A and B are shown apart, each in its own frame.
Chain A
Amino acid sequence: MIDLSLLTDGGVGWLDASGPSSHLVLSTRIRLARNLAGRVFQGRNSETEREDILSTVEHAARESVLLRRATKFRLDRLEPTDRQLLHERHLVSKELAGLDSDGRVRSGASLLIQDRIGVMLNEEDHLRIQGLHSGFALEAAYAEVDRLDAELGQRLAFAFHPEFGYLTSCPTNVGTGLRASVLIHLPGLVLTKEISKVLQGLAQVGLTFRGLYGEGSEVVGNFFQLSNQTTLGSSEHELLDHLGKMVRQVMDYEEQARQVLLRDAPAIIEDKVWRAYGLLRYARALSFEEAMNLLSGVRLGVGVGLIPDVAMYTLNKLLVYTQPAHLAVAEGVEPTEADLPIRRARFVRKVLESEVGRRG
Protein backbone atom coordinates (compact mmCIF):
# COMPACT_ATOMS: atom_id res chain seq x y z
CA MET A 1 0.00 0.00 0.00
CA ILE A 2 1.20 3.50 -0.70
CA ASP A 3 1.98 5.84 2.13
CA LEU A 4 -0.22 8.90 1.86
CA SER A 5 1.04 10.23 5.17
CA LEU A 6 3.86 11.74 3.13
CA LEU A 7 1.35 14.23 1.79
CA THR A 8 0.28 17.27 3.76
CA ASP A 9 -3.14 16.34 5.23
CA GLY A 10 -2.88 13.07 3.30
CA GLY A 11 -3.86 15.06 0.22
CA VAL A 12 -7.35 15.68 1.54
CA GLY A 13 -6.88 19.17 2.96
CA TRP A 14 -9.69 20.18 0.62
CA LEU A 15 -12.11 18.26 2.84
CA ASP A 16 -11.45 20.26 5.98
CA ALA A 17 -14.44 22.60 5.50
CA SER A 18 -12.28 25.63 6.33
CA GLY A 19 -12.84 27.49 3.06
CA PRO A 20 -15.49 30.10 2.22
CA SER A 21 -19.14 28.89 2.08
CA SER A 22 -18.10 25.41 3.22
CA HIS A 23 -21.65 24.59 4.33
CA LEU A 24 -22.63 24.48 0.64
CA VAL A 25 -19.41 24.12 -1.31
CA LEU A 26 -17.05 21.23 -0.59
CA SER A 27 -14.21 22.17 -2.86
CA THR A 28 -12.98 24.24 -5.77
CA ARG A 29 -10.76 22.68 -8.40
CA ILE A 30 -8.77 24.39 -11.13
CA ARG A 31 -6.89 22.61 -13.85
CA LEU A 32 -4.83 23.82 -16.78
CA ALA A 33 -4.17 21.53 -19.75
CA ARG A 34 -0.67 21.93 -21.20
CA ASN A 35 1.42 20.06 -23.76
CA LEU A 36 5.08 20.18 -24.62
CA ALA A 37 5.84 21.85 -27.96
CA GLY A 38 7.06 19.68 -30.83
CA ARG A 39 5.94 16.39 -29.31
CA VAL A 40 3.05 14.21 -30.32
CA PHE A 41 0.08 14.07 -28.01
CA GLN A 42 -0.61 11.21 -25.66
CA GLY A 43 -2.87 9.26 -28.05
CA ARG A 44 -0.07 8.74 -30.58
CA ASN A 45 3.08 8.68 -28.48
CA SER A 46 5.21 5.73 -27.42
CA GLU A 47 6.22 4.42 -24.03
CA THR A 48 9.70 5.92 -24.48
CA GLU A 49 8.25 9.33 -25.32
CA ARG A 50 6.00 9.22 -22.27
CA GLU A 51 8.98 8.36 -20.05
CA ASP A 52 10.83 11.28 -21.56
CA ILE A 53 7.92 13.66 -20.91
CA LEU A 54 7.82 12.44 -17.32
CA SER A 55 11.52 13.01 -16.69
CA THR A 56 11.56 16.38 -18.51
CA VAL A 57 8.63 17.74 -16.51
CA GLU A 58 9.83 16.25 -13.24
CA HIS A 59 13.20 17.90 -13.75
CA ALA A 60 11.51 21.28 -14.29
CA ALA A 61 9.25 20.70 -11.28
CA ARG A 62 12.21 19.99 -8.97
CA GLU A 63 13.68 23.35 -9.94
CA SER A 64 10.43 25.17 -9.19
CA VAL A 65 9.38 26.56 -5.83
CA LEU A 66 5.88 25.18 -5.79
CA LEU A 67 6.73 21.57 -6.68
CA ARG A 68 10.25 21.44 -5.35
CA ARG A 69 9.37 18.98 -2.60
CA ALA A 70 6.64 17.23 -4.57
CA THR A 71 5.76 13.63 -3.85
CA LYS A 72 5.70 11.49 -6.97
CA PHE A 73 3.29 8.67 -7.61
CA ARG A 74 3.79 6.48 -10.65
CA LEU A 75 0.28 5.25 -11.26
CA ASP A 76 1.58 2.65 -13.71
CA ARG A 77 3.52 1.00 -10.90
CA LEU A 78 0.78 1.00 -8.30
CA GLU A 79 -1.69 -1.70 -7.36
CA PRO A 80 -5.31 -1.11 -8.43
CA THR A 81 -6.41 -0.34 -4.85
CA ASP A 82 -3.76 2.34 -4.49
CA ARG A 83 -4.72 3.92 -7.80
CA GLN A 84 -8.32 3.90 -6.75
CA LEU A 85 -7.38 5.43 -3.40
CA LEU A 86 -5.78 8.41 -5.15
CA HIS A 87 -8.84 8.74 -7.36
CA GLU A 88 -11.21 8.60 -4.37
CA ARG A 89 -9.21 11.47 -2.84
CA HIS A 90 -9.82 13.48 -6.02
CA LEU A 91 -6.06 13.66 -6.64
CA VAL A 92 -6.08 11.89 -10.01
CA SER A 93 -8.66 11.45 -12.75
CA LYS A 94 -10.32 8.16 -13.53
CA GLU A 95 -8.41 8.06 -16.82
CA LEU A 96 -4.99 8.54 -15.20
CA ALA A 97 -5.76 5.93 -12.56
CA GLY A 98 -6.65 3.45 -15.31
CA LEU A 99 -10.12 2.96 -13.85
CA ASP A 100 -11.96 3.53 -17.14
CA SER A 101 -13.90 0.64 -18.62
CA ASP A 102 -10.83 -0.83 -20.35
CA GLY A 103 -9.12 -0.88 -16.95
CA ARG A 104 -5.63 -0.24 -18.27
CA VAL A 105 -3.22 2.20 -16.77
CA ARG A 106 -1.01 3.95 -19.30
CA SER A 107 2.76 3.64 -18.98
CA GLY A 108 4.27 6.81 -17.55
CA ALA A 109 0.98 7.90 -15.92
CA SER A 110 2.12 9.87 -12.87
CA LEU A 111 1.20 12.47 -10.30
CA LEU A 112 3.47 15.08 -8.75
CA ILE A 113 1.86 16.69 -5.75
CA GLN A 114 2.90 19.19 -3.09
CA ASP A 115 0.30 20.53 -0.67
CA ARG A 116 -2.75 21.70 -2.59
CA ILE A 117 -1.30 21.66 -6.07
CA GLY A 118 0.12 19.16 -8.44
CA VAL A 119 0.55 17.95 -11.99
CA MET A 120 -0.91 14.87 -13.59
CA LEU A 121 1.48 13.59 -16.24
CA ASN A 122 0.69 11.60 -19.35
CA GLU A 123 -3.02 12.11 -18.88
CA GLU A 124 -5.08 13.13 -21.93
CA ASP A 125 -2.57 15.98 -22.21
CA HIS A 126 1.11 15.86 -21.28
CA LEU A 127 0.47 18.02 -18.22
CA ARG A 128 -2.66 18.70 -16.24
CA ILE A 129 -1.69 21.33 -13.69
CA GLN A 130 -4.24 21.24 -10.88
CA GLY A 131 -5.14 22.81 -7.58
CA LEU A 132 -7.77 21.78 -5.08
CA HIS A 133 -9.03 24.13 -2.35
CA SER A 134 -11.53 23.78 0.44
CA GLY A 135 -14.83 25.66 -0.05
CA PHE A 136 -15.69 28.24 -2.68
CA ALA A 137 -12.31 29.73 -3.61
CA LEU A 138 -12.00 30.20 -7.37
CA GLU A 139 -9.55 33.10 -7.39
CA ALA A 140 -7.30 31.72 -4.67
CA ALA A 141 -7.14 28.30 -6.32
CA TYR A 142 -6.46 29.85 -9.72
CA ALA A 143 -3.74 32.15 -8.40
CA GLU A 144 -1.77 29.18 -7.12
CA VAL A 145 -2.18 27.11 -10.28
CA ASP A 146 -1.31 30.16 -12.41
CA ARG A 147 1.95 30.59 -10.49
CA LEU A 148 2.88 26.98 -11.02
CA ASP A 149 2.00 27.30 -14.71
CA ALA A 150 4.34 30.31 -14.95
CA GLU A 151 7.09 28.50 -13.09
CA LEU A 152 6.88 25.43 -15.29
CA GLY A 153 6.38 27.50 -18.44
CA GLN A 154 9.74 29.17 -17.86
CA ARG A 155 11.49 25.84 -17.78
CA LEU A 156 9.53 23.95 -20.40
CA ALA A 157 8.34 24.87 -23.91
CA PHE A 158 4.56 24.62 -24.07
CA ALA A 159 2.64 24.11 -27.32
CA PHE A 160 1.02 27.49 -28.02
CA HIS A 161 -0.65 28.85 -31.15
CA PRO A 162 -1.04 32.63 -31.68
CA GLU A 163 -4.70 32.29 -32.60
CA PHE A 164 -5.87 29.14 -30.78
CA GLY A 165 -3.84 29.59 -27.59
CA TYR A 166 -2.60 26.59 -25.60
CA LEU A 167 -2.93 23.51 -27.80
CA THR A 168 -4.57 20.45 -26.31
CA SER A 169 -5.19 16.91 -27.42
CA CYS A 170 -8.94 17.52 -27.48
CA PRO A 171 -10.24 20.80 -28.99
CA THR A 172 -12.74 21.13 -26.11
CA ASN A 173 -9.82 22.28 -23.92
CA VAL A 174 -7.90 24.48 -26.36
CA GLY A 175 -7.24 28.17 -25.63
CA THR A 176 -6.86 28.71 -21.92
CA GLY A 177 -6.85 24.99 -21.14
CA LEU A 178 -8.73 26.03 -18.02
CA ARG A 179 -11.41 23.98 -16.36
CA ALA A 180 -12.68 25.38 -13.08
CA SER A 181 -15.15 23.33 -11.07
CA VAL A 182 -17.03 23.89 -7.87
CA LEU A 183 -18.35 20.89 -5.96
CA ILE A 184 -21.63 22.02 -4.43
CA HIS A 185 -24.31 20.34 -2.31
CA LEU A 186 -27.85 21.19 -3.42
CA PRO A 187 -30.37 19.10 -1.47
CA GLY A 188 -32.79 22.04 -1.11
CA LEU A 189 -33.12 22.47 -4.85
CA VAL A 190 -33.52 18.72 -5.34
CA LEU A 191 -36.22 18.43 -2.64
CA THR A 192 -38.16 21.43 -4.00
CA LYS A 193 -37.77 19.96 -7.52
CA GLU A 194 -36.20 23.19 -8.77
CA ILE A 195 -32.93 21.54 -9.68
CA SER A 196 -33.64 20.68 -13.32
CA LYS A 197 -34.64 24.29 -14.01
CA VAL A 198 -31.43 25.50 -12.42
CA LEU A 199 -29.30 23.02 -14.36
CA GLN A 200 -31.00 23.96 -17.63
CA GLY A 201 -30.34 27.60 -16.87
CA LEU A 202 -26.67 26.84 -16.26
CA ALA A 203 -26.43 25.02 -19.59
CA GLN A 204 -27.81 28.09 -21.32
CA VAL A 205 -25.07 30.28 -19.90
CA GLY A 206 -22.31 27.91 -20.97
CA LEU A 207 -21.80 25.95 -17.78
CA THR A 208 -21.97 22.23 -17.33
CA PHE A 209 -22.42 19.86 -14.40
CA ARG A 210 -21.08 16.46 -13.45
CA GLY A 211 -21.23 14.15 -10.46
CA LEU A 212 -18.99 13.86 -7.41
CA TYR A 213 -16.22 12.18 -9.40
CA GLY A 214 -16.09 14.44 -12.45
CA GLU A 215 -16.37 13.43 -16.06
CA GLY A 216 -18.68 10.50 -16.66
CA SER A 217 -19.70 10.16 -13.02
CA GLU A 218 -23.29 10.18 -11.87
CA VAL A 219 -24.82 12.61 -9.45
CA VAL A 220 -25.06 11.00 -6.01
CA GLY A 221 -25.99 12.49 -2.66
CA ASN A 222 -27.12 15.75 -4.30
CA PHE A 223 -23.52 16.77 -5.03
CA PHE A 224 -22.97 18.60 -8.29
CA GLN A 225 -19.74 19.66 -9.88
CA LEU A 226 -20.39 22.90 -11.77
CA SER A 227 -17.80 23.98 -14.32
CA ASN A 228 -17.14 26.07 -17.40
CA GLN A 229 -17.96 24.38 -20.69
CA THR A 230 -15.80 26.45 -23.03
CA THR A 231 -12.13 27.27 -22.74
CA LEU A 232 -11.62 29.55 -25.75
CA GLY A 233 -12.74 33.11 -26.50
CA SER A 234 -12.75 34.36 -22.90
CA SER A 235 -9.80 35.15 -20.67
CA GLU A 236 -9.04 33.04 -17.61
CA HIS A 237 -10.44 35.72 -15.29
CA GLU A 238 -13.59 36.14 -17.40
CA LEU A 239 -14.21 32.40 -17.22
CA LEU A 240 -13.69 32.42 -13.45
CA ASP A 241 -15.85 35.53 -12.93
CA HIS A 242 -18.67 34.05 -14.95
CA LEU A 243 -18.58 30.72 -13.13
CA GLY A 244 -18.25 32.52 -9.79
CA LYS A 245 -21.29 34.72 -10.42
CA MET A 246 -23.39 31.76 -11.46
CA VAL A 247 -22.30 29.65 -8.48
CA ARG A 248 -23.20 32.52 -6.13
CA GLN A 249 -26.61 32.67 -7.76
CA VAL A 250 -27.10 28.91 -7.35
CA MET A 251 -26.04 29.25 -3.70
CA ASP A 252 -28.73 31.92 -3.22
CA TYR A 253 -31.35 29.67 -4.81
CA GLU A 254 -30.28 26.80 -2.59
CA GLU A 255 -30.54 28.96 0.56
CA GLN A 256 -34.00 30.14 -0.54
CA ALA A 257 -35.12 26.57 -1.22
CA ARG A 258 -33.96 25.56 2.28
CA GLN A 259 -35.92 28.45 3.80
CA VAL A 260 -39.02 27.41 1.89
CA LEU A 261 -38.66 23.82 3.11
CA LEU A 262 -38.22 24.93 6.71
CA ARG A 263 -41.15 27.32 6.48
CA ASP A 264 -43.62 25.05 4.67
CA ALA A 265 -42.66 21.59 5.88
CA PRO A 266 -40.58 21.92 9.05
CA ALA A 267 -41.76 18.65 10.60
CA ILE A 268 -41.06 16.65 7.43
CA ILE A 269 -37.58 18.11 7.03
CA GLU A 270 -36.72 17.61 10.67
CA ASP A 271 -37.85 14.00 10.48
CA LYS A 272 -35.95 13.43 7.23
CA VAL A 273 -32.60 14.70 8.48
CA TRP A 274 -32.78 12.93 11.85
CA ARG A 275 -33.91 9.74 10.17
CA ALA A 276 -30.81 9.98 7.96
CA TYR A 277 -28.67 10.51 11.05
CA GLY A 278 -30.30 7.58 12.85
CA LEU A 279 -29.67 5.25 9.94
CA LEU A 280 -26.04 6.27 9.61
CA ARG A 281 -25.52 5.93 13.33
CA TYR A 282 -27.07 2.48 13.71
CA ALA A 283 -27.37 0.74 10.33
CA ARG A 284 -25.44 -2.53 9.95
CA ALA A 285 -25.09 -2.42 6.16
CA LEU A 286 -24.89 0.57 3.85
CA SER A 287 -24.52 0.62 0.07
CA PHE A 288 -22.42 3.42 -1.41
CA GLU A 289 -25.44 5.19 -2.83
CA GLU A 290 -27.44 4.90 0.38
CA ALA A 291 -24.53 6.21 2.41
CA MET A 292 -24.18 9.21 0.06
CA ASN A 293 -27.89 10.00 0.30
CA LEU A 294 -27.94 9.72 4.07
CA LEU A 295 -24.82 11.87 4.37
CA SER A 296 -26.59 14.39 2.17
CA GLY A 297 -29.56 14.41 4.57
CA VAL A 298 -27.37 14.88 7.64
CA ARG A 299 -25.38 17.56 5.84
CA LEU A 300 -28.62 19.44 5.18
CA GLY A 301 -29.59 19.03 8.83
CA VAL A 302 -26.26 20.44 10.00
CA GLY A 303 -26.43 23.24 7.42
CA VAL A 304 -29.83 24.52 8.61
CA GLY A 305 -28.95 24.07 12.28
CA LEU A 306 -31.27 21.14 13.03
CA ILE A 307 -28.44 18.74 13.90
CA PRO A 308 -26.00 20.46 16.22
CA ASP A 309 -23.31 17.96 17.10
CA VAL A 310 -21.77 16.90 13.80
CA ALA A 311 -18.95 18.83 12.13
CA MET A 312 -19.01 19.47 8.38
CA TYR A 313 -15.44 18.19 8.31
CA THR A 314 -16.60 14.80 9.61
CA LEU A 315 -19.30 14.58 6.95
CA ASN A 316 -16.87 15.57 4.20
CA LYS A 317 -14.40 12.97 5.39
CA LEU A 318 -17.07 10.27 5.43
CA LEU A 319 -17.85 10.99 1.77
CA VAL A 320 -14.35 9.94 0.82
CA TYR A 321 -13.44 7.44 3.53
CA THR A 322 -16.50 5.23 3.00
CA GLN A 323 -15.45 4.39 -0.55
CA PRO A 324 -14.12 0.93 -1.41
CA ALA A 325 -10.35 1.59 -1.57
CA HIS A 326 -10.45 3.65 1.62
CA LEU A 327 -12.35 0.94 3.47
CA ALA A 328 -9.79 -1.59 2.26
CA VAL A 329 -6.93 0.54 3.54
CA ALA A 330 -8.65 1.33 6.86
CA GLU A 331 -9.02 -2.38 7.65
CA GLY A 332 -5.87 -3.58 5.90
CA VAL A 333 -7.73 -6.15 3.79
CA GLU A 334 -9.51 -6.03 0.47
CA PRO A 335 -13.26 -6.25 1.16
CA THR A 336 -15.37 -8.55 -0.95
CA GLU A 337 -18.44 -7.22 -2.77
CA ALA A 338 -20.63 -8.85 -0.15
CA ASP A 339 -19.06 -7.45 2.99
CA LEU A 340 -18.36 -3.97 1.67
CA PRO A 341 -21.75 -2.57 2.87
CA ILE A 342 -21.17 -4.12 6.31
CA ARG A 343 -17.71 -2.59 6.63
CA ARG A 344 -18.99 0.75 5.41
CA ALA A 345 -21.72 0.80 8.05
CA ARG A 346 -19.22 -0.20 10.76
CA PHE A 347 -16.84 2.57 9.73
CA VAL A 348 -19.57 5.22 9.71
CA ARG A 349 -20.83 4.11 13.15
CA LYS A 350 -17.35 4.31 14.60
CA VAL A 351 -16.74 7.82 13.26
CA LEU A 352 -20.11 9.17 14.40
CA GLU A 353 -19.81 7.56 17.83
CA SER A 354 -16.41 9.14 18.41
CA GLU A 355 -17.72 12.49 17.18
CA VAL A 356 -20.58 12.47 19.70
CA GLY A 357 -18.28 11.07 22.39
CA ARG A 358 -15.82 13.90 21.90
CA ARG A 359 -18.51 16.48 22.37
CA GLY A 360 -19.82 14.73 25.46
Chain B
Amino acid sequence: MSCDQCHEREAVIHLTQIVNEQVTTLHLCERCAAEKGVESPSGVAKTPLGSFLAAMGNNLTETEPAPRTGDTCVRCGGSFQDFRESGRLGCPECYRSFEAPLRELLRRLQGSTHHVGERYAEQGAQPGDGQVRTAELREQLRLAVETENFELAAELRDRLRVME
Protein backbone atom coordinates (compact mmCIF):
# COMPACT_ATOMS: atom_id res chain seq x y z
CA MET B 1 0.00 0.00 0.00
CA SER B 2 1.40 3.40 -0.94
CA CYS B 3 1.27 6.52 1.21
CA ASP B 4 -1.98 8.58 0.96
CA GLN B 5 0.06 11.77 1.08
CA CYS B 6 2.96 11.39 -1.34
CA HIS B 7 1.69 8.29 -3.21
CA GLU B 8 5.33 7.24 -3.55
CA ARG B 9 6.68 5.51 -0.50
CA GLU B 10 5.26 2.47 1.27
CA ALA B 11 2.69 3.33 3.97
CA VAL B 12 3.85 2.08 7.36
CA ILE B 13 1.68 4.10 9.71
CA HIS B 14 -2.08 3.70 9.76
CA LEU B 15 -3.72 6.56 11.56
CA THR B 16 -7.37 6.20 12.46
CA GLN B 17 -9.12 9.45 13.34
CA ILE B 18 -12.66 10.31 14.31
CA VAL B 19 -13.62 13.73 12.98
CA ASN B 20 -17.26 14.87 13.17
CA GLU B 21 -18.31 11.31 13.98
CA GLN B 22 -16.70 10.15 10.73
CA VAL B 23 -14.07 7.50 11.00
CA THR B 24 -11.22 8.01 8.57
CA THR B 25 -8.01 6.02 8.23
CA LEU B 26 -4.89 7.59 6.81
CA HIS B 27 -2.13 5.39 5.48
CA LEU B 28 1.18 7.23 5.66
CA CYS B 29 4.83 6.60 5.04
CA GLU B 30 7.26 7.40 7.85
CA ARG B 31 8.37 10.73 6.39
CA CYS B 32 4.88 12.10 5.68
CA ALA B 33 3.72 10.90 9.09
CA ALA B 34 6.58 12.79 10.73
CA GLU B 35 5.65 15.93 8.77
CA LYS B 36 2.10 15.62 10.06
CA GLY B 37 3.45 15.30 13.59
CA VAL B 38 2.57 11.60 13.94
CA GLU B 39 5.41 9.78 15.66
CA SER B 40 6.29 6.40 14.28
CA PRO B 41 6.00 3.50 16.71
CA SER B 42 9.64 2.59 16.13
CA GLY B 43 10.68 6.03 17.27
CA VAL B 44 8.58 6.17 20.40
CA ALA B 45 8.27 2.68 21.73
CA LYS B 46 11.98 1.86 21.80
CA THR B 47 11.88 2.12 25.56
CA PRO B 48 9.15 0.72 27.80
CA LEU B 49 8.63 4.28 28.97
CA GLY B 50 8.17 5.49 25.40
CA SER B 51 4.48 4.74 24.94
CA PHE B 52 3.72 5.94 28.45
CA LEU B 53 5.47 9.22 27.82
CA ALA B 54 3.79 9.64 24.44
CA ALA B 55 0.41 9.02 26.04
CA MET B 56 0.97 11.47 28.84
CA GLY B 57 2.43 14.14 26.59
CA ASN B 58 -0.95 15.56 25.64
CA ASN B 59 -2.35 15.53 29.15
CA LEU B 60 0.73 17.18 30.47
CA THR B 61 0.26 20.39 28.57
CA GLU B 62 -3.26 20.67 29.96
CA THR B 63 -2.51 20.06 33.61
CA GLU B 64 1.04 21.14 34.21
CA PRO B 65 3.13 24.12 33.24
CA ALA B 66 5.25 21.92 30.99
CA PRO B 67 8.57 23.36 29.94
CA ARG B 68 8.26 25.58 26.89
CA THR B 69 9.64 24.21 23.69
CA GLY B 70 13.29 25.00 23.58
CA ASP B 71 13.78 24.87 27.36
CA THR B 72 16.89 22.91 28.09
CA CYS B 73 18.71 21.67 31.15
CA VAL B 74 21.31 24.18 32.30
CA ARG B 75 23.87 21.48 32.96
CA CYS B 76 23.66 19.06 30.03
CA GLY B 77 21.68 20.98 27.42
CA GLY B 78 19.11 18.19 27.07
CA SER B 79 15.46 19.13 26.53
CA PHE B 80 12.31 17.57 27.93
CA GLN B 81 11.48 16.56 24.37
CA ASP B 82 14.76 14.59 24.23
CA PHE B 83 13.65 12.77 27.35
CA ARG B 84 10.21 12.05 25.91
CA GLU B 85 11.86 10.51 22.87
CA SER B 86 14.55 8.45 24.57
CA GLY B 87 13.01 7.76 27.97
CA ARG B 88 16.31 8.75 29.56
CA LEU B 89 17.36 11.97 31.22
CA GLY B 90 20.61 13.74 30.41
CA CYS B 91 22.09 14.35 33.86
CA PRO B 92 21.23 14.61 37.58
CA GLU B 93 20.49 18.32 37.13
CA CYS B 94 17.63 17.45 34.71
CA TYR B 95 15.60 16.49 37.81
CA ARG B 96 15.76 20.17 38.85
CA SER B 97 15.46 21.65 35.35
CA PHE B 98 12.28 19.69 34.61
CA GLU B 99 11.07 19.33 38.18
CA ALA B 100 7.35 20.07 37.60
CA PRO B 101 6.67 17.66 34.72
CA LEU B 102 8.91 15.02 36.29
CA ARG B 103 7.07 15.23 39.58
CA GLU B 104 3.83 14.64 37.71
CA LEU B 105 5.40 11.74 35.82
CA LEU B 106 6.73 10.18 39.02
CA ARG B 107 3.31 10.44 40.64
CA ARG B 108 1.82 8.42 37.81
CA LEU B 109 4.71 6.06 37.24
CA GLN B 110 5.80 5.39 40.80
CA GLY B 111 2.72 6.44 42.75
CA SER B 112 4.88 8.77 44.81
CA THR B 113 7.40 11.58 44.56
CA HIS B 114 9.09 11.10 47.91
CA HIS B 115 12.07 8.92 48.54
CA VAL B 116 11.69 7.28 51.94
CA GLY B 117 14.55 4.80 51.71
CA GLU B 118 18.16 5.10 52.77
CA ARG B 119 19.53 8.62 52.73
CA TYR B 120 22.88 9.24 51.21
CA ALA B 121 25.28 11.16 53.39
CA GLU B 122 27.28 13.23 50.98
CA GLN B 123 31.03 13.29 51.17
CA GLY B 124 32.53 15.84 53.50
CA ALA B 125 29.12 16.53 55.06
CA GLN B 126 29.75 14.45 58.15
CA PRO B 127 30.85 16.11 61.37
CA GLY B 128 33.86 14.78 63.25
CA ASP B 129 35.85 13.33 60.38
CA GLY B 130 38.15 11.40 62.67
CA GLN B 131 35.26 9.58 64.33
CA VAL B 132 33.72 8.73 61.01
CA ARG B 133 37.04 7.41 59.77
CA THR B 134 37.44 5.17 62.83
CA ALA B 135 33.91 3.85 62.48
CA GLU B 136 34.53 3.20 58.82
CA LEU B 137 37.74 1.31 59.53
CA ARG B 138 36.00 -0.75 62.21
CA GLU B 139 33.28 -1.68 59.72
CA GLN B 140 35.95 -2.62 57.18
CA LEU B 141 37.69 -4.72 59.79
CA ARG B 142 34.46 -6.54 60.61
CA LEU B 143 33.89 -7.23 56.90
CA ALA B 144 37.46 -8.36 56.40
CA VAL B 145 37.17 -10.87 59.25
CA GLU B 146 33.81 -12.04 58.00
CA THR B 147 35.13 -12.62 54.50
CA GLU B 148 38.24 -14.28 55.96
CA ASN B 149 40.53 -11.70 54.44
CA PHE B 150 42.99 -11.93 57.31
CA GLU B 151 45.83 -10.11 55.64
CA LEU B 152 43.66 -7.02 55.24
CA ALA B 153 42.19 -7.48 58.73
CA ALA B 154 45.68 -7.34 60.28
CA GLU B 155 46.48 -4.19 58.32
CA LEU B 156 43.22 -2.52 59.39
CA ARG B 157 43.74 -3.48 63.04
CA ASP B 158 47.17 -1.81 62.97
CA ARG B 159 45.75 1.34 61.45
CA LEU B 160 42.99 1.47 64.08
CA ARG B 161 45.53 1.06 66.90
CA VAL B 162 47.43 4.08 65.61
CA MET B 163 44.28 6.19 65.43
CA GLU B 164 43.06 5.22 68.89
Using a CB–CB cutoff of 8 Å, the interface residues on chain A facing chain B are: 35, 37-44, 65-66, 68, 124, 146-147, 150-151, 153-154, 156-161, 163-167, 169-172, 174-176, 178, 206, 215, 230-236, 239
B18, CB-defined interface residue at 8 Å: no
A232 partner, pick from B106, B118, B140, beta carbons under 8 A = B106
Docked Cα-Cα span, A157 to B121, in Å, equals 9
Docked Cα-Cα span, A164 to B120, in Å, equals 12
Residue of B nearest to A233 (CB): B112
B117 partner, pick from A35, A161, A235, beta carbons under 8 A = A235
How far, in Å, is A8 (CB) from chain B's closest CB?
A: 11
B118 partner, pick from A39, A66, A124, A176, beta carbons under 8 A = A176
B116 partner, pick from A38, A166, A174, A234, beta carbons under 8 A = A234
Main secondary structure of the interface of B (DSSP, over half): loop
Docked Cα-Cα span, A206 to B111, in Å, equals 10
Chain A residue contacts of B152, Cβ below 8 A: 65, 68
Give the B interface residue count (CB, 8 A).
Answer: 42
B105, CB-defined interface residue at 8 Å: yes
Using a CB–CB cutoff of 8 Å, the interface residues on chain B facing chain A are: 47-49, 75-78, 86-92, 95-96, 102, 105-106, 109-123, 136, 139-140, 143-144, 147, 149, 152
When the two chains form their complex, are residues B113 and A232 in contact, meaning their CB atoms are under 8 A apart? yes
When the two chains form their complex, are residues A231 and B110 in contact, meaning their CB atoms are under 8 A apart? yes
Docked Cα-Cα span, A150 to B139, in Å, equals 10
Known: A68-B152, A176-B115. A157 touches B123 (CB 8 A): yes
Docked Cα-Cα span, A164 to B86, in Å, equals 21
Known: A65-B143, A68-B149, A171-B105. A163 touches B89 (CB 8 A): no
How far, in Å, is B127 (CB) from chain A's closest CB?
A: 15
Chain A residue contacts of B121, Cβ below 8 A: 153
Chain A residue contacts of B111, Cβ below 8 A: 206, 230, 232-233
When the two chains form their complex, are residues A166 and B120 in contact, meaning their CB atoms are under 8 A apart? yes
When the two chains form their complex, are residues B92 and A37 in contact, meaning their CB atoms are under 8 A apart? yes
With most chain B CB atoms within 10 A of its CB, the pick from A35, A38, A151, A172 is: A172
Residue of A nearest to B102 (CB): A171
Residue of B nearest to A178 (CB): B117
Chain B residue contacts of A167, Cβ below 8 A: 92, 95
Known: A154-B136, A234-B117, A235-B116. A65 touches B92 (CB 8 A): no
Chain B residue contacts of A38, Cβ below 8 A: 92
When the two chains form their complex, are residues A147 and B122 in contact, meaning their CB atoms are under 8 A apart? no
When the two chains form their complex, are residues B114 and A39 in contact, meaning their CB atoms are under 8 A apart? no
When the two chains form their complex, are residues B89 and A165 in contact, meaning their CB atoms are under 8 A apart? no
How far, in Å, is A211 (CB) from chain B's closest CB?
A: 14
When the two chains form their complex, are residues B143 and A147 in contact, meaning their CB atoms are under 8 A apart? yes
B115 partner, pick from A37, A42, A175, beta carbons under 8 A = A175
Docked Cα-Cα span, A174 to B49, in Å, equals 14
Known: A41-B88, A66-B143, A171-B105. A163 touches B117 (CB 8 A): no
When the two chains form their complex, are residues B122 and A160 in contact, meaning their CB atoms are under 8 A apart? yes
How far, in Å, is A239 (CB) from chain B's closest CB?
A: 8
Known: A39-B91, A167-B95, A175-B115. A233 touches B110 (CB 8 A): yes
Chain B residue contacts of A163, Cβ below 8 A: 113-115
With most chain B CB atoms within 10 A of its CB, the pick from A164, A166, A167, A176 is: A164
Known: A40-B91, A124-B88. A171 touches B106 (CB 8 A): yes
When the two chains form their complex, are residues A41 and B49 in contact, meaning their CB atoms are under 8 A apart? no
When the two chains form their complex, are residues B120 and A158 in contact, meaning their CB atoms are under 8 A apart? yes
When the two chains form their complex, are residues B147 and A175 in contact, meaning their CB atoms are under 8 A apart? no
When the two chains form their complex, are residues B144 and A65 in contact, meaning their CB atoms are under 8 A apart? yes
A175 partner, pick from B102, B117, B139, beta carbons under 8 A = B117
How far, in Å, is A57 (CB) from chain B's closest CB?
A: 14
Docked Cα-Cα span, A41 to B117, in Å, equals 22
Known: A37-B92, A66-B143, A164-B106. A235 touches B118 (CB 8 A): yes
How far, in Å, is B41 (CB) from chain A's closest CB?
A: 14
Chain A residue contacts of B116, Cβ below 8 A: 233-235
Residue of B nearest to A37 (CB): B92
Known: A124-B88, A235-B117. A157 touches B122 (CB 8 A): yes
When the two chains form their complex, are residues A40 and B76 in contact, meaning their CB atoms are under 8 A apart? yes
When the two chains form their complex, are residues B90 and A40 in contact, meaning their CB atoms are under 8 A apart? yes
Docked Cα-Cα span, A41 to B122, in Å, equals 19
B91 partner, pick from A44, A150, A164, A231, beta carbons under 8 A = A44
